[in-house]
Amino acid sequence: MKRIRIGLIGAGANTRSRHIPGFKKIHDVEVVSVANRTRASARRVAKDFGIAKVADNWRSVLEDDSVDAVCIGTWPHMHKTLTIAALEAGKHVLCEARMAMNSAEAREMLAAAQRHPHLIAQIVPAPHTLAFDRTIIKLIGKNDIGEIITLDARVAAPSTYPNPSTPPHWRHERVLSGNNIMSMGIWYEAMMRWVGPASTVYAIGQSVVNHRLDTNGRRITMAIPDHLDVMCRLMQGGQMRFNVSTVIGDSPSQVDLLIFGTEGTIRLHQDPKKEMALLVGKRGGSGLKPVKIRPSMGGEWRVEEEFCNAIRGKEQVTHTDLATGVAYMEFTDAVTRSLNTGEQISLPFV
CA nearest to 90, candidates 110, 120, 130, 46:
120
Beta bridge partners of 256: 154, 269
CA nearest to 64, candidates 35, 42, 38:
35
Q: Are 19 and 304 in contact (CB under 8 A)?
A: yes
Q: Are 198 and 185 in contact (CB under 8 A)?
A: no
Helix (H, G, I), strand (E, B) or coil at 294: coil
- Answer yes or no: is 29 within a domain: yes
Q: Please tell me what DSSP assigns to residue 6.
A: E
Residues 168 and 93 in one domain: no
In single-letter form, the type of residue at position 29 comes to: V
Q: Write down the pLDDT at residue 350.
A: 80
Domain of 35, in residue numbers: 4-125+302-318
- Answer yes or no: is 198 within a domain: yes
- Answer yes or no: is 19 within a domain: yes
Residues 282 and 148 in one domain: yes
User: How far is Cα 343 from Cα 103, in angstroms, rounded to an integer?
Assistant: 19
302-326: string of b/e by CB count within 10 Å (b at 16+)?
ebbbbbbbbbeeeeebebbbbebbb
Q: Please tell me what DSSP assigns to residue 172.
A: G
CA nearest to 123, candidates 80, 166, 162:
80
- Answer yes or no: is 348 within a domain: no
Q: List per-residue pLDDT tens for the chain, 350 residues long.
A: 689 999 999 999 999 999 999 999 999 999 999 999 999 999 999 999 999 999 999 999 999 999 999 999 999 999 999 999 999 999 999 999 999 999 999 999 999 999 999 999 999 999 999 999 999 999 999 999 999 999 999 999 876 899 999 899 999 999 999 999 999 999 999 999 999 999 999 999 999 999 999 889 999 999 999 999 999 999 999 999 999 999 999 998 999 999 999 999 999 999 988 999 999 999 999 999 999 999 999 999 999 999 999 999 999 999 999 999 999 999 999 999 999 999 999 999 98
Q: What CATH number does residue 102 fall under?
A: 3.40.50.720
Residues 148 and 240 in one domain: yes
User: How far is Cα 146 from Cα 74, in angstroms, rounded to an integer?
Assistant: 42
Which ranges of the chain would DSSP assign to H, the alpha helix? 13-14, 20-24, 39-49, 58-62, 79-88, 103-115, 133-141, 174-177, 184-195, 303-311, 322-341
SS3 sequence of 47-103 = HHHCCCEECCCHHHHHCCCCCCEEEECCCHHHHHHHHHHHHHCCCEEEECCCCCCCH
- Answer yes or no: is 51 within a domain: yes
Residues 65 and 203 in one domain: no
- Answer yes or no: is 327 within a domain: no
Q: Quote the number of domains for the chain.
A: 2
